[in-house]
Amino acid sequence: MKQANSAILLVFLFAVALLGGAIGLAKGGLYLGKHEVDTLHLIDILLRLEDGARIHADFSTPIGTLAFAPIIWFSPLGLNFGMAFLATQAVLALALVLPLWWIGVSRLSTGAAMLLGGVTLVTATAIVDGQTDVSSSISMYYNRWAWALAFVALGLSMLPRKRGLTGGGFFEGIVIGICLVALAFLKVTYLVGIALPVLGGLLMTANFRGIAGAFLAGCAAFAAITFLHGLAPWQAYYEDLLTVANSANRAFPGASLADLISAPAFLPTLIVAAAGVIFLRQSSQNGAALLLLIALPGLYYITYQNFGNDPLWLGFVVVYVYAMRPEGEFRNEFGWDIRTALSVVSITGAVIIAPVLLNFGTSGLRHLFLDEGQYQRVIPTTRFPVADDIHMANLRVDTVNAMVPLLSETNTTNNDLAEFDPTTFADCQIRLGNSTFNSAIASDLVNFEGEALYVADVSSSVWMFSNMQPTKGSAPWAYGGLPGIENADILVVPKCATQLSVHNAMLVSIAQREDLVLEPLVDSAVSSVYRLNRLAAESSSN
Q: What is the pLDDT of residues 187-202, one digit of tens each?
A: 999 999 999 999 999 9
How much is the mean pLDDT over the chain?
Answer: 91
Residue 540 is predicted with a pLDDT of: 40
Query: Given pLDDT bands bounded at 50, 70 and 90, which one contains residue 307?
Result: confident
Residue 1 is predicted with a pLDDT of: 63
Residue 408 is predicted with a pLDDT of: 62
Specify whether the CB–CB gap between 317 and 276 falls below 8 A.
Answer: yes
Q: Edge-to-edge strands of the sheet including 30-32? A: 30-32, 390-393, 375-377
Residue 538 is predicted with a pLDDT of: 41
pLDDT of 410 strictly over 60: no
Specify whether the CB–CB gap between 180 and 153 falls below 8 A.
Answer: yes
Query: Among 93-107, 300-314, 482-496, which is the least confidently predicted range?
Result: 300-314
CA distance 450 to 459: 19
CA distance 46 to 493: 24
Mean pLDDT of 117-135: 96
CA 507 to chain centre: 28
CA 9 to chain centre: 29
Specify whether the CB–CB gap between 489 and 452 falls below 8 A.
Answer: yes
Mean pLDDT of 427-432: 91
Query: Given pLDDT bands bounded at 50, 70 and 90, which one contains residue 427?
Result: confident
CA distance 298 to 314: 13
Between these two residues, 424 and 271, which has the higher pLDDT value?
271
Query: What are the two backbone dihedrals, phi and then psi, of residue 111, each rounded to the nearest 5 degrees?
Result: -65, -45
Query: Among 186-190, 490-494, 505-509, which is the least confidently predicted range?
Result: 505-509
Residue 185 is predicted with a pLDDT of: 95
Residue 260 is predicted with a pLDDT of: 81
Domain ranges of the chain: 6-368, 400-540
CA distance 187 to 341: 35
How many residues are given for the chain? 542
Mean pLDDT of 43-51: 97
The angle, 0 to 180 degrees and rounded to 10, between the axes of the packed helices 338-368 and 110-125 is: 40
Query: What are the two backbone dihedrals, phi and then psi, of residue 516, each rounded to the nearest 5 degrees?
Result: -110, 135
Residue 418 is predicted with a pLDDT of: 39
CA distance 236 to 247: 17
Percentage with pLDDT > 90 across the chain: 75
CA distance 11 to 15: 6
Nearest to 59 by CA among 485, 451, 457: 485
Residue 187 is predicted with a pLDDT of: 95
Residue 537 is predicted with a pLDDT of: 52
Model-level pTM?
Answer: 0.93
pLDDT of 220 strictly over 80: yes
Residue 332 is predicted with a pLDDT of: 81
Query: Given pLDDT bands bounded at 50, 70 and 90, which one contains residue 251?
Result: low
Q: Which residue type is seen at 335? A: G
Percentage with pLDDT > 70 across the chain: 94
CA distance 188 to 143: 10
Going by the DSSP 8-state scheme, the letter that residue 453 receives in this structure is E
pLDDT in tens, 316-331: 999 999 999 988 788 8
Between these two residues, 539 and 145, which has the higher pLDDT value?
145
CA distance 444 to 424: 20
Q: Regarding beta strands 469-470 and 452-455, do their DSSP bridges make them parallel or antiparallel, or are they unpaired?
A: parallel
pLDDT of 379 strictly over 80: yes
Q: CA of 391: how far to CAs of 46, 49, 140, 400, 433, in Å?
A: 16, 21, 17, 17, 13
For residue 373, the SS3 value is helix
C-alpha radius of gyration, the chain, whole number: 25
Mean pLDDT of 153-175: 89
* Residues facing 517 on adjacent strands: 533
Residue 416 is predicted with a pLDDT of: 40
Residue 162 is predicted with a pLDDT of: 83
Query: Among 75-79, 402-406, 421-425, 473-477, which is the least confidently predicted range?
Result: 421-425
Specify whether the CB–CB gap between 140 and 123 falls below 8 A.
Answer: no
* Residues facing 533 on adjacent strands: 517
pLDDT of 253 strictly over 80: no
Cα end-to-end distance, the chain, whole Å:
78
Query: Given pLDDT bands bounded at 50, 70 and 90, which one contains residue 333?
Result: confident
CA distance 393 to 371: 10
Query: Given pLDDT bands bounded at 50, 70 and 90, which one contains residue 421?
Result: low
Q: Which residue type is seen at 240? A: D
Residue 4 is predicted with a pLDDT of: 79
Q: Of the segments 12-16, 72-76, 130-134, which one has the largest average pLDDT value?
A: 12-16
Buried b (16+ CB within 10 A) or exposed e, 462-495: bbbbbbbbbbebbbbbbbbebbbbeebbbbbbbb
Residue 255 is predicted with a pLDDT of: 74
CA distance 161 to 177: 18
